[in-house]
Amino acid sequence: MSDRMGNFTGTGALLRLALRRDRIQIPVWLFAQAAVLGGSGSSIVGLYDTPEERVSYATTSASSVVTVAFNGPTSGPALGAIITNETLLVSVVMIALMTTFMVVRHTRQNEETGRAEMVGAGAVGRYAMVAAALCLAVLADVAFSALSFLVLLSFGLSASGALLYGVALALTGITFAGVAAVTAQIAESSRAANGIAAAFVGLSFLLRAVGDATGEVVRNGQYVESAWPSYLSPMGWAQQVRPFSENRTAFLVPLVLLFGVLLYVTTILAAHRDVGTGMLPVRPGPARAPRSLGSPFGLVWRLQRGSLLGWAIGLLILGVSFGAVADEVDDLISGNEDLAEVIEQLGGTGNLVEGYLSAIIGIGVLVACGYVIQALLRMRTEEAGGTLEPVLATAVSRTRWLGAHVVCTSLGLVALALLFGGSLGFAYGVASGDVGGETVTAIGAALVRVPAALVIGAIVVAVFGIAPRLAVPVSWGVLAAAFLVMQLGAVLDLPQVVLDLSPFTHVPNAPAASVEALPLVVLGVVAVGLCGAGLAVFRRRDLAM
């Protein structure tokens, strides 16, 4: 027994260290997600304030394959069920990503950077590092569960349903933390570990989407009984709990059992490998590097191409899915004047289809900003990991190095905007009978929003240059704020001064509105100015670890 307990020696100290390292990052994640839940729930309460509107929502949602695939199975016309249907899946995906990144950061990344070997030289047990990472993830998941419980109670919903919502959310996050703990043992780099964990998240989402989309509509057309693929997915288990509807606690059991299995596998793998190594064999690279890697741009492209491909696949799927349903917008929201007004506010026009397309294109380009932030924060990773210093010791200047990251990321953003706009317009064109015209129109509308996305990227560059230690939380915090302003600004009737803080407020609502060049030029100038400020400080400051 003492030997087993010795394997966990130092867990408490490592947990305190992890809490200190993430003292800014975790609150940003938690309160951003709670704000999304609160804002979405508040808008739903206002949009569906009569029994007739709730019945209409349940009926139209259950009959729409696309809606069910992206929101989950409809569970009836109760207000709590509608809020769950609109928010639980988003919360589950966010908490899954949060916990997987967190566990990999405090396990595999520590080994990759050499910190684990230094820590292991002290009185630290074999399992202490992974145990501390899992404890941190559990604490974060429970904290978000508590915040969700309080937010749902503020809408006057039942305490039992709100508690079950929070428990399902927390157990799902804990389960995906177990997935990340396993991938951290398998892969030899944090990038590979995150990639495998993200693939598991995507597979879980896909199984659930297929199962829900192929499910059976029952109970007067207001309830969807999912097909068998949903019952193979942790995300599907969380949604099958159906808070505020049936409160099926039995579906919490598979989440607990799966976490137990993953925890056992983690201990077995951790006991049979050396620190710094993974269970998967490392594929050797080519004997000679291509000439393109001799330039900063070529190296940056090599580092970013995998991430860009992943974002491209996701945006392609989103574009086709939302474009295919655009022709049905009039039918989906008929009879709900409040929802029609929201689409009019988001899209900037009384034409529902054009307003829907404008709103979705804006959201798609805002999602692409996630790639921009991830790609540009690679600069901070290289600086903190010590790989930047040997690069700058060569003939590569700081200006060339930073410029390569900015140019490569900007080109990637343009490519993602073209892909999302093209896929959205093509799918809508197939449904409406004008493939060429709608595709060109949607591509143009997506490109119009690129200057606003470049401002988001320029903020990342500026913060990296001026205050590199704050680059990660500030960058993702800016994106979360822009998302909240875009989604909830008009619904919550926020002051114009608050709306103007988001660069997306200043771009034309194409294709619903005509395009003016002046706002785009101003945004471009702002982006260049912020990048210039970041570069000017970066050229003169010391490298920060």
Find all residues with CB under 8 Å of 257, minimum gap 6, and list them: none
What is the average pLDDT across 107-127? 74
**Between 40 and 152, residue with greater pLDDT:** 152
pTM: 0.78
pLDDT tens for 274-330 read 666 666 666 666 777 777 777 888 888 888 887 888 788 888 888 887 787 776 666
pLDDT tens for 176-213 read 999 999 998 888 777 788 888 888 888 888 888 888 88
At 146, is the pLDDT very low, low, confident or very high (cuts 50, 70, 90)? Answer: very high
pLDDT tens for 456-477 read 999 999 999 998 888 888 888 8
Q: Where are the alpha helices (DSSP H) in 325-397?
A: 329-332, 337-347, 352-376, 378-385, 388-392
**Full DSSP string of 245-314:** TT--GGGHHHHHHHHHHHHHHHHHHHHTS-TT--SSPPPP--SS--GGGGSHHHHHHHHHHHHHHHHHHH
What pLDDT does residue 1 have?
47
What pLDDT does residue 279 have?
64
Tokens at 213, concatenated: 């989309």
What pLDDT does residue 239 have?
93
Residue with tokens 């991938």: 183
Residue with tokens 């992943």: 310
Long-range contact list for 195-201, CB < 8 A, 24+ apart? 195/306, 195/310, 197/100, 197/104, 198/97, 198/100, 198/310, 200/176, 201/93, 201/96, 201/97, 201/100, 201/176
Tokens at 337, concatenated: 């004047």
Closest CA to 324 of 97, 66, 61, 18: 66
Using a 10 angstrom Cβ sphere, with 0-12 exposed, 13-18 middle and 19 or more buried, the burial of residue 244 is buried
pLDDT at 251 over 60: yes
What pLDDT does residue 490 have?
58
What is the average pLDDT across 335-352? 58
Alpha-carbon dihedral of residues 537, 543, 544, 545, nearest 10 degrees? Answer: 160
Lowest mean pLDDT among 39-43, 394-398, 467-471: 39-43
pLDDT at 145 over 90: yes
pLDDT at 332 over 90: no
What pLDDT does residue 292 have?
73
Lowest mean pLDDT among 10-19, 137-146, 366-375, 429-438: 429-438
What is the average pLDDT across 242-271? 92
pLDDT tens for 66-87 read 678 778 898 888 999 999 988 8
3-class SS at 449? coil
**Between 442 and 114, residue with greater pLDDT:** 442
Write down the domain spans for the chain: 12-280, 293-545
What pLDDT does residue 463 have?
94
What is the average pLDDT across 473-490? 77
Rounded-to-integer distance, Cα 486 and Cα 490, Å: 8
CA 543 to chain centre: 29
What pLDDT does residue 351 have?
64
What pLDDT does residue 414 have?
95
pLDDT at 507 over 60: yes
At 163, is the pLDDT very low, low, confident or very high (cuts 50, 70, 90)? Answer: very high
Instruction: Indicate the average pLDDT of the chain.
Output: 84
Residue 506 dihedral angles phi and psi, to the nearest 5°: -95, 0
What is the average pLDDT across 240-269? 93
What pLDDT does residue 307 have?
80
Residue at 482: amino acid letter: A
What pLDDT does residue 18 have?
87
CB 189 within 8 A of CB 381: no
CA–CA distances in Å: residue 77 to residues 48, 166, 235, 240 = 10, 21, 22, 16
What pLDDT does residue 452 have?
93
What pLDDT does residue 2 have?
47
Lowest mean pLDDT among 59-63, 137-141, 331-335: 331-335
Residue with tokens 């896929």: 423
What pLDDT does residue 409 have?
94
Beta carbons within 10 angstroms of residue 386's beta carbon: 12
What pLDDT does residue 206 have?
84
Tokens at 242, concatenated: 């159906």
Q: Where are the alpha helices (DSSP H) in 48-158?
A: 51-63, 65-71, 79-105, 108-113, 115-120, 128-153
pLDDT at 4 over 60: no
